[in-house]
Every structure is written in structure tokens, then in C-alpha cells.
Amino acid sequence: MNQLTPIHTAQEAIRRGDLALACEILEDSLKPKGSVGTSQVDQSRVIQTRQLLAEVYLRRGQVQAARRQTEELLRQAPDHIDGRILEAHIARLEGRAQHAQELLTPIAQRADATQGQLKLIAAEWVATGAFSQAVDTLQKVEPMDAQSFYYLGLSHFRLGQIGKALPIYRKLFASIPNSPTIAKELSLVAAEFREFKTAIEAYSRYMQLSDPTAADFVKFSDLLLMGHNVADSQRHLEKALAMGEDSAESRLLEAKIARLSGDYGKALERAHAALVLSPGLGSAWSIVAELTEAASVDAVLIERLAQAISGASMAPHDLELAQFALAELHAKAGDYSTAYAQIRAANQTKSTLLRESGALYNRHTMEELLTTARQVFSGNLAPKVSTDSHRPVFIVGMPRSGTTVIHRLLDASGELQCIGESEALPFVYAQLQQRLGHMPEKLLHQLKEDDWNELAIEYLRRAGAGTEKRDLADKMPHNFLYVGMILSMFPQARIVQLRRAPFDVCMSIYAKPFPEGHSYACDPGDLAHFYYHCNALMDYWAEAFPDQTYNLDFDRFLETPTDSARQLFEFLGYPWQECYLEARSDSPQAFTFSELQVRKPIRKSEAGKWQQYRKVATDLLTELKTASNQSTSDANYKK
């Protein structure tokens, strides 16, 4: 009967959980036994023993002892891959993450690394925050186990590659439905991708699998609010408050919910309450600046916000929001010069964030899209279309061009299921990008009728189309980029293209915080470039699809709302009533900067507010003039 080696005996002790005995066995086996010569077999066993002993030391928290064994191992076998992985792991545990990455770089390229070793290397890349290297390493792992698949999803998520991370987390969630960690992270990924239905389902599962704290209820409430579910958001926030929650985050949520419910007094009070606990909370300052009446803006309030900005270090996003809020307060006080200086500062903060993430506006991409659209959606090159008979209405145009007001009119008529700014179409487009490449428009001719039918079904599902027979009205402004694709999915769709004078549109965008997808918004030159290319693209859609597109000049609409609205409804095929123009206290939440506007009667005064900036926004005016001279867009929109 063969006698067990010290390594096997130690492994048995480890399996029993007796790490102290395992250490004793391995340490004893490394002591000199009096024999002078050392065979190759003995040398190999010594290396294995040192590796196992270092691993046991680490499990016992004895990092220095583990480092000594690893150093001795590598002195004996410098090319030992497992030893090098241990060396990097120990460096990370000692707080030397950069050194750990330097140690991992050569072994990650080793052709003789086993699948198991590649998984360990990938785990170390993830632990040190080197997510790009983790993805590169994991691409060599075949087949992947659940842990490696999780690391791949996490790495894509941390790199901002949400479209790649989301399907990975979905598969993990489907195969491991009882993991609270995966459920929670799927929720985070889906929320980043603005797929709130999945995010809410996953977070709900996380809550079921864990013992939720008050903070968990606050986070769930916030997620539900992002998903435009105000009632459930309120309900879960009340649970958190009943558990004693009284944080800046919970107070801010109370303010947001009150604002969306039209209770502006409570919203303002709770926003101020949140700032008592967290003076650097940018979202709270946004609400304060928005809801404070001009007559109530004084030097004390302005100074309080200015001190918050210059005082304690703010997170970049909070700083951006606070700077925009300070600009709005100065504007309400009538100081447009200082307001514009703050607007420029806020946009500089945003531009820095975009530059660091590599997401700055690319003028060439926009120009290429315009050229491609003209080539693809014309003549014999035009893609096939679906057989879908739905007649959705898409209200498109630049942000701040009046899409919210027109959406309100359609909602007042009751003729359509108005879904607001739906993420459904951008999501369908992202799916096409994964399938066809960065600019799928170039390959749309490859899609067959059945493909377009499937895309139409997917859009309707994600948009939440009801069983009722009413068609949808989708007011996501940037859908003007996809009009050709829309009409391939829905040949009977109707497109309402909003136009507005360039300075009013661009100034109102420049003065507000927009999310990262609007990378053009923080530079006057990029903003002017995007405006005129946007209008040139809409000019083309109107030319290519004259029976399905309706150009609506919002400035003219404000001059003659009744006549303009009647003509719009005639194009859409719905009866018109004058009462649709009246203010509605029960108007559904808009979840946009225009939320307050939908509760007011339609009037021209709101549109003229941006003219106050003409004397100070000289850089924006110059860029608009330059872009106008270079543009082929309709002269009606060059004012």
C-alpha cells in the first residue's frame, strides 16, 4: 500500500478545514532531512509544497509568510506560472495594485498557460480594476464557467460596454436565479442601459433573496422612479421611511416624487431638507433652482450654493448639476452675464468627464450618418419593409424643440397611447449594431421582410404597447436619427419633425445638464454642428418620405397654436378640439426638463426667455453663424 505524501496529507487536512495541521505538515516536509542530493522529482515536490503552503498561508491571512514562500518558489523556478500568479495576488493584497498588474502582463501572454491559470489571471485583472485586460484574457478561456462568465460581464459593465454586459448578466441570471449578487448586478447593468423593466425585475428578485434594509428600499424606490413608476416608487420609499430611513437620498427622492406629482411646495421643502444633510447634492440643487420663484432668489441663496460648489469636494456629476443650478439662479435674478459664465463652467465640467471616458462628440460620425442615410434610403438601395400594419406616431427633433408640448396635445386627444420618451427604439437600434456593426444603416439592405417584422414586434414589446387598439405616440427626440429604419419597421408610421430657431434650441440645450448620450451639448461648436446636421437629416427624411413626415415649426406653432394644431391633427387623421390647448392639472408626468411646462397653457412667452442670452452668448452665436453658412439645411431654420 502506497504511503500518502505530505502534499496529499495536507490536502486532506485542508478538506477537513484544519488549516493549522496542513501548515504544520507542509512546513515539516520542507525541513532538511539530512540527504545531500536533490532529485528532479524532489525539486518538483518542493515547488508544489511551497505553492500549496503559500496558498494555505493566504487562507489564514498570513500574507507575509505567503510572500516569503512565493519568493523562494520563484527563486527555484522563475518561470512557474502559478507562482507568478501568487506573486501578483500577494502584491494586490498588500495594496500594490499597479505592481500586480505589471506582474500579470507577461504571464497573461504565456502560450503555455492552462485554462485554469487563465481564469486565475482574469480574476486578478478584475480585482485590480484592469477590466480591458480581463476581457482580453477571458476571450482565451473556452469553455467558460459561471465565474468567468460573471467576470466577463462585470468587465464589460465597468468599461461602459453595457450592450455587451447586459446579455451576459441575463444568461447568468437565468442559469443562477438564486444568486442575490447576480440579481443586483443585472439590475445595475440594465438600469445603465435604461432597460428599466429588466432592472426592476432583477432588483425585485434581489430583494426576495436577501433581507432588505431601509437603504435597499430607497435604492429600489429610486430605480422604480427611473422606470417612470411613480406610485410604486412612493410605496417603497414609504417602507424605507417606516424603517427609520432619513438620509439625504431619501429626502431627495421625496422631493423628486413631489415634483412629478405637481406638489412643488413639498418638492422644494424636501430638496432643501436633503441639502441640510448633504450640501453637495447636485440633484437637490437642480430642484431648488428650478422651483424657486424669481422673486424669492436672493443673495443668500446664491451665496449658499456658491459656497457648496467651492467648499467641500463634489463628485463631478454633482458639480455639473450644481453649476447649472447656480446659473439658473443668476438668470432668475436677472444677471445673465454671470449666469452664462456658470453655464460655460458647467459644460466644461461635463466636457472633462466625456473626454476622460472617450465619449466626446465626433463630428465625422454625424456627417457619415447623414451621407449614409441619403445613400441607403433612396432608389433601388432602399431596404425592404415589414408587413406590420400599426400606425405609430413618432415625434422627433432636437431636444428642447417642442416635442413635449406636441406630445401633450396628442395625449389630450385620447386618440393615442402616449408613452413619452421611450427607450424602445434606441434599444432596437443597439441590437442592430451588435448584429451588423457600428453603423448598421450601411447593411440594412441585408435584412429581409421577416427581419423587419421581428424588429417591429420587439419595438412594440419594449414600448409597452397595450392590448387596446390605439396606436403609440413616442416622443423620444433623437429618433430623428432612425426615421428610415422606423418606416422600414412600420410602413404606415407617421413622423412629426419639430423645428425651432437655432439660438433658442441650442441655448436651451447648452443651459441644461444632458446625459452622456448628448455629447454635442457641452461645446458651442459641436452644438451648432449637430443642430444643422440634425435639420439637414430631417430635410432629407421629408424629401424621401413626403407622405409620412410632417414638419412642424414650433415658433410658428406658438404664434398660431390653434391653426397649427388643427393642421397637425389633419395630417395625423384625428379630429381636433380647441380644449386640447388648455392647461391640464392632471397631465401625466413628463420626466423631462419640460415637466412644469406641460401643466401650463401653451404660450409664446416661454420660448422668448432664451433671447435674454443673446448679448452674452457670443461664442454660441458665432458658431451658429459659421455652421449655418456651411449647411445645406432649409433656410427657415437659420434664424
Instruction: Dump pLDDT digits (tens) for 532-553.
Output: 999 999 999 999 999 999 999 9
Instruction: Dump pLDDT digits (tens) for 168-196.
Output: 888 888 888 999 988 998 888 888 777 78
d(C-alpha 190, C-alpha 196), whole Å: 6
Residue 227, C-alpha cell as written in the block: 422606470
Least confident range from 42-51, 471-480, 527-536: namely 42-51
Provide the pLDDT confidence category of residue 612 given band limits of 50, 70 and 90. Answer: very high
Query: What pLDDT score was predicted for residue 378?
Result: 78
Query: What pLDDT score was predicted for residue 335?
Result: 97
Query: What pLDDT score was predicted for residue 52?
Result: 94
Residue 160 Cα to chain centre, angstroms: 8
Q: How many CB atoms lie within 10 A of CB 458?
A: 15
Instruction: Dump pLDDT digits (tens) for 192-217.
Output: 777 788 889 999 999 999 999 999 99
Percent of the chain exceeding pLDDT 90 equals: 65
Domains along the chain with CATH numbers: 6-31+39-143 (1.25.40.10), 363-637 (3.40.50.300)
Query: What pLDDT score was predicted for residue 594?
Result: 46
Query: What pLDDT score was predicted for residue 55?
Result: 93
Whether residue 254 contacts residue 270, with contact meaning beta carbons closer than 8 Å, is answered with yes
- Comparing 158 with 323, the larger pLDDT belongs to 323
Closest by CA position to 183, among listed 200, 205, 163, 166? 205
Provide the pLDDT confidence category of residue 1 given band limits of 50, 70 and 90. Answer: very low
d(C-alpha 82, C-alpha 88), whole Å: 10
Instruction: Dump pLDDT digits (tens) for 116-132.
Output: 999 999 999 999 989 99
Closest by CA position to 118, among listed 153, 66, 154, 82? 82
Query: What pLDDT score was predicted for residue 312?
Result: 66
d(C-alpha 181, C-alpha 167), whole Å: 16
d(C-alpha 255, C-alpha 452), whole Å: 43
Query: What pLDDT score was predicted for residue 609?
Result: 79
d(C-alpha 21, C-alpha 156), whole Å: 42
Instruction: Dump pLDDT digits (tens) for 248-288.
Output: 999 999 999 999 999 999 999 999 999 999 999 999 999 99
